[in-house]
Amino acid sequence: EVQLLESGGGLVQPGGSLRLSCEASGFLFSSFDMSWVRQAPGKGLEWVSGVSATGRSTYYADSVKGRFTTSRDNSKKTFTVQMDSLRADDTAFYYCAKEGRAAPNSFDYWGQGILVTVSS
Amino acid sequence: DIQVTQSPSSLSASVGDRVTITCRASQSIRNYLAWYQQKPGKAPKLLIYAASSLQSGVPSRFSGSGSGTDFSLTISSLQPEDYATYYCQQTYSKPCSFGQGTKVEIK
């Protein structure tokens, strides 16, 4: 059974940093690209960042470019995002998502989501 | 970056109704489009990928169509468990943008 478990969320002050992790199990982690998708409370979905299966390529939304850094450790089956210079509009549920085998950039499995609140 | 515009933003329908949601991309994305269902407090669930391919385990009352810039998701006979918010997503290129969502409510 595929499982994705996010950790590391919480309350942080504007300008602060937070590191989210996603622990994967139940599939060949090193074969799939991974992404972070966020959702502000009561709002729609926003793709945030992604990393290729090997970890050599990373991708970012303009809204987080230069502030977020995504990486993965295939030996530990973990996927992380380091979030720096956080702003109030980064407040959201953050989901770890696995790319589908049949279609790139579509997400067939998602974590349960973890809340990041940026507030003073 | 490719933008996707989804309509309507909400709709009311009765059990058994046929429901159609549309999605338009700002440029041709061939068939690189996915549809998701999200219920309150839950993660999104993939319904359709590659515009018209049904994800494993998804009921056949869900179908997708379209190519290029115009796409649609149809629920042939709305069931009580289908009341949710639906999102389209272009999967042609990163950033892989989502539509604004369509909330399907009980009439």
Give the pLDDT confidence score for residue B39 in this predicted structure.
Answer: 97
Give the pLDDT confidence score for residue A104 in this predicted structure.
Answer: 87
Res. B106 pLDDT band, cuts 50 70 90: confident
Give the pLDDT confidence score for residue A103 in this predicted structure.
Answer: 85
**Nearest by CB to B46, which of A35, A61, A100?**
A100
Give the pLDDT confidence score for residue A73 in this predicted structure.
Answer: 97
CA separation for the pair B26, B5 (Å, rounded): 8
| Residue written as token pair 């074969």 | A31
Residues of chain B in contact with residue A45, where contact means CB-CB under 8 angstroms, are 36, 38, 44, 87, 89, 98, 101
Residue type, A88: A
Give the pLDDT confidence score for residue A45 in this predicted structure.
Answer: 98
Give the pLDDT confidence score for residue B29 in this predicted structure.
Answer: 97
Quote the minimal CA–CA distance from A2 to chain B in Å.
14
Quote the minimal CA–CA distance from A106 to chain B in Å.
6
Give the pLDDT confidence score for residue A35 in this predicted structure.
Answer: 97
Give the pLDDT confidence score for residue A79 in this predicted structure.
Answer: 96
Tokens of A58: 């990373």
Interface probe with A: pick from B6, B39, B71, B94, most Cβ of A within 10 Å:
B94
- B16-73 pLDDT, tens digit per residue, is 999 999 999 999 999 999 999 999 999 999 999 999 999 999 999 999 999 999 999 9
The answer to whether the CB of A39 falls within 8 A of the CB of A26 is no
Identify the burial level of A56 via C-beta atoms within 10 angstroms of its C-beta, where 0-12 means exposed, 13-18 middle and 19 or more buried. Answer: exposed
**Which residues of chain A, if any, have pLDDT below 50?**
none
Mean pLDDT of chain B: 97
Which among A45, A65, A50, A30 is positioned nearest to A97, based on CA atoms?
A50
